[in-house]
Chains A and B, each alone.
Chain A
């Protein structure tokens, strides 16, 4: 008997995954979580293909709501604004985040380094509505002082809140990366910028791609800050959807939402593909 005990633990370990699956709650719970997460999205996508005004009664599959949505000039304009803002915010915030990550991991020990890291990450902890209101009043002052208006302000706001999202994965990757590669490059006559261009940057690329992806998705999805900052004619896709559902959910809104999901998924897929190619 006492001989059998260790054997049984060994056996348990080896077949751990099967044992887990056999637990009565495990399978049920997993399905429940998956259902709660994805059923609403599935329903939304399915009814975007419904040939009917209703979003609860299914009649027949059709692309008519996509035709309506794409034919709708407001949707096209909103999509274009979203993409412009997201691309600008992604580009600028990724560059800034990369520089910040380099400074905090490769800049040696400077006074206030941990404070700098905390300050960069802090916006993640502040409620977005607070940031939104603060940005709104700050930008109103600036707008009045400078007399400048336009979509630039929205891009600036997005850039700012994207920085911490881009910063996290880039800094994590740099902190993991030994600086011996950079020393080796310098030892082999690379000037600092050459070492960065030929060694640090390529090795850091997976982190930069993850950071850029996060920034893009966060910017594309943002509602609260955008709602307060966006001027007339600066309606992004989420704002357009929000405006539409005030008048009830229509299949057209479903179609636009599906397009937004598609954009996000495409971005994530692209990042994965790029990272796999590098490997």
Chain B
């Protein structure tokens, strides 16, 4: 559906130039809920604006359905945007806002009013057609913005942090509503957020971005369980990042050894790293805590504290090298106790720095 090939975007010239995107390549599958996830300033909005046509790429090309659109103005692209601040036209009624796209496309009046009705129903705002947009609550404005962008039935809908202005409760509700709208309309959604929970909950695919580059693309599960780089592991959340020594590759696995432990095989995205110091991601729920003297222990440390969270306890352990890790266990060991840790090696992931 959308293909970005080696897209670079620079702002300004000469010494003051800012590179917002650096050779970004991306494939967004048709009909998917695709999320761009990354910290502030990593280039998410810039990528979205390039797809919408508000900016032109400095290098590279963007194609929609195989047709290069990178240099068309926004009004010539079958792509619509839900703006972060909604940008509803304040001098028009709700209905005229929603019908604006079709009006500009010179569709017949009857078709416009039928579509507007349909859209108002879709976002459950049937009673508000004649209202002025400044007489609506934030959540209602949000839904008008969605209806307005969906009414012309674009091939792609772009959403730039559309939920960030809403309070927590409304946001949870809108997350579900967005998923429903995407499923009902079958339109490809490209969704921008810097909230990893939101991204994991809503997306078919996530592209994690950092500093103008795409770090990893995958399903929420892939991103969560097999982060390929230290950045992704760190950004996605509560995983442990532990130093280890890379001994070499065996097939698609990496042979690694933690300080003081024996060598084991771990997952690796690609056999690109030179032997030596690396970092390995260990999810807290894949760690078994054992006796310090246990032969099977790969890591050793001291229990700092533990806290009960319902389904079990979360232990904080300081490893011998000084790194702090978390482990989720049914029965926590007492604070100050020396313990051994046995991670599930099938879930170990060697990270690229």
- Which A residues contact B (CB, under 8 angstroms)? 178, 180-181, 183-192, 194-195, 198-199, 202-203, 278
CB–CB A187/B90 < 8 A? no
Interface assignment of B37: CB less than 8 Å from any CB of chain A: no
The complex places the Cα of A207 from the Cα of B149 at a distance, in Å, of: 29
Ranked nearest first, the 6 interchain pairs of A and B with the lowest CB-CB distance are A188-B101, A184-B87, A180-B87, A189-B104, A186-B74, A190-B104
| Nearest-neighbor residue (CB-CB) of A190 within chain B | B104
Distance (whole angstroms) from the CB of A10 to the closest CB of chain B: 32
Interface assignment of B73: CB less than 8 Å from any CB of chain A: yes
| Nearest-neighbor residue (CB-CB) of A182 within chain B | B87
CB–CB B74/A187 < 8 A? yes
Q: Report if A189-B101 is in contact (Cβ < 8 Å); known contacts: A184-B87, A184-B89.
A: yes
Q: Report if A194-B80 is in contact (Cβ < 8 Å); known contacts: A188-B148, A189-B75, A189-B152.
A: no
Q: Report if A190-B89 is in contact (Cβ < 8 Å); known contacts: A180-B83, A184-B83.
A: no
Count how many pairs of residues, one from A and one from B, have CB atoms less than 8 Å apart in the complex: 62
Q: Which residues of B contact A203 (CB under 8 A)?
A: 90-91
Q: Which of B85, B91, B104 sits near A188, CB closer than 8 Å? A: B104
Q: Report if A180-B85 is in contact (Cβ < 8 Å); known contacts: A188-B148, A189-B104.
A: yes
11 contacts between A and B (CB under 8 A): A181-B87, A184-B83, A184-B88, A186-B54, A186-B73, A187-B81, A189-B104, A189-B152, A198-B100, A202-B91, A278-B91
CB–CB B152/A184 < 8 A? no
| Nearest-neighbor residue (CB-CB) of A183 within chain B | B54
Q: Which residues of A contact B85 (CB under 8 A)?
A: 178, 180
Interface size band for B: 20 to 34
A interface, over-half SS: helix
Within 8 A of A (CB), among B58-81: 73-75, 79-81
The complex places the Cα of A130 from the Cα of B217 at a distance, in Å, of: 69
Q: Which residues of A contact B83 (CB under 8 A)?
A: 180, 183-184
Q: Report if A188-B87 is in contact (Cβ < 8 Å); known contacts: A183-B54, A183-B74.
A: no
Within 8 A of A (CB), among B147-188: 148-149, 152
Q: Report if A188-B100 is in contact (Cβ < 8 Å); known contacts: A180-B87, A199-B89.
A: yes
Interface assignment of B17: CB less than 8 Å from any CB of chain A: no
Interface assignment of B293: CB less than 8 Å from any CB of chain A: no
CB–CB B73/A188 < 8 A? no
- Which B residues contact A (CB, under 8 angstroms)? 52-54, 73-75, 79-81, 83, 85, 87-91, 100-101, 104-105, 148-149, 152
Scoring B74, B80, B148 by chain A CB atoms within 10 A of each residue's CB, the highest score goes to B74
Q: Which residues of A contact B75 (CB under 8 A)?
A: 186-192, 195
CB–CB A185/B100 < 8 A? yes
Scoring A184, A186, A202 by chain B CB atoms within 10 A of each residue's CB, the highest score goes to A184
Distance (whole angstroms) from the CB of A241 to the closest CB of chain B: 42
The complex places the Cα of A105 from the Cα of B183 at a distance, in Å, of: 41
Distance (whole angstroms) from the CB of A110 to the closest CB of chain B: 14
CB–CB A187/B104 < 8 A? no
| A-B contact sample (14 more), CB < 8 A, given A187-B54, A188-B152 | A178-B85, A178-B87, A180-B83, A184-B87, A186-B53, A186-B54, A186-B75, A187-B74, A188-B80, A189-B104, A190-B104, A191-B104, A198-B104, A203-B90
Q: Report if A194-B87 is in contact (Cβ < 8 Å); known contacts: A187-B74, A187-B80.
A: no
Distance (whole angstroms) from the CB of B12 to the closest CB of chain A: 10
The complex places the Cα of A278 from the Cα of B152 at a distance, in Å, of: 29
| Nearest-neighbor residue (CB-CB) of B91 within chain A | A202
Distance (whole angstroms) from the CB of B136 to the closest CB of chain A: 16
The complex places the Cα of A180 from the Cα of B85 at a distance, in Å, of: 9
Scoring A180, A189, A190, A202 by chain B CB atoms within 10 A of each residue's CB, the highest score goes to A189
| Nearest-neighbor residue (CB-CB) of A195 within chain B | B75
Q: Which residues of A contact B104 (CB under 8 A)?
A: 185, 188-191, 194, 198
| Nearest-neighbor residue (CB-CB) of A203 within chain B | B91
Distance (whole angstroms) from the CB of B173 to the closest CB of chain A: 24
Distance (whole angstroms) from the CB of A199 to the closest CB of chain B: 6
Q: Which residues of A contact B91 (CB under 8 A)?
A: 202-203, 278
| Nearest-neighbor residue (CB-CB) of A180 within chain B | B87
Q: Which residues of B contact A202 (CB under 8 A)?
A: 91
The complex places the Cα of A181 from the Cα of B54 at a distance, in Å, of: 12
Q: Which residues of B contact A185 (CB under 8 A)?
A: 89, 100, 104
Q: Which residues of B contact A181 (CB under 8 A)?
A: 87, 89
The complex places the Cα of A183 from the Cα of B55 at a distance, in Å, of: 11
Q: Which residues of B contact A192 (CB under 8 A)?
A: 75
| Nearest-neighbor residue (CB-CB) of B77 within chain A | A187
Scoring A183, A188, A191, A203 by chain B CB atoms within 10 A of each residue's CB, the highest score goes to A188
The complex places the Cα of A123 from the Cα of B83 at a distance, in Å, of: 41
Q: Which residues of A contact B148 (CB under 8 A)?
A: 188
The complex places the Cα of A187 from the Cα of B87 at a distance, in Å, of: 11
Q: Which residues of B contact A184 (CB under 8 A)?
A: 81, 83, 87-89
Q: Which residues of A contact B52 (CB under 8 A)?
A: 187
The complex places the Cα of A128 from the Cα of B256 at a distance, in Å, of: 85
Q: Which residues of A contact B149 (CB under 8 A)?
A: 187-188
